[in-house]
Amino acid sequence: MDFIHLNEMQFYGYHGALAEETVLGQRFTVSVSMAVDLAEAGTTDDLSKTVNYAEAYSVVQSIVEGEPVKLIETVAERIAGKLLEDYKTQVSGVRVLIVKPDPPIPGHYSSVAVEIERGRLS
């Protein structure tokens, strides 16, 4: 299987369970890997046979910068679901990693994150 990776995209959103997260907002780093058969795109040089990176970026951006939710788990599910829906014929599976570099919780750590992997039901 082949993969398309959109690595460490940076966005600013208002997701979080704590009040200050929904008021002040924070940075989010998102990486997405999409399972795609790239053979035909690679041999024909035809963009319609693959996933347009700019369009996929816009999908992720609209969700992360869009309607606030409490959990980044929810953000990850929305991203995975939308990419699978929008690219029905190209994408057979998707992995989404969302990192909160600066969550407002005490302690010493570099970040908190969730990662999910979703595919098509047979």
Q: Which residues are catalytic?
A: 100
C-alpha atoms less than 13 angstroms from C-alpha of 78 in its C-beta half-sphere: 20
CB-side exposure of 75: number of CA atoms within 13 Å? Answer: 32
At residue 14, what is the residue type? Y
Pair 58, 79: CB distance under 8 Å? no
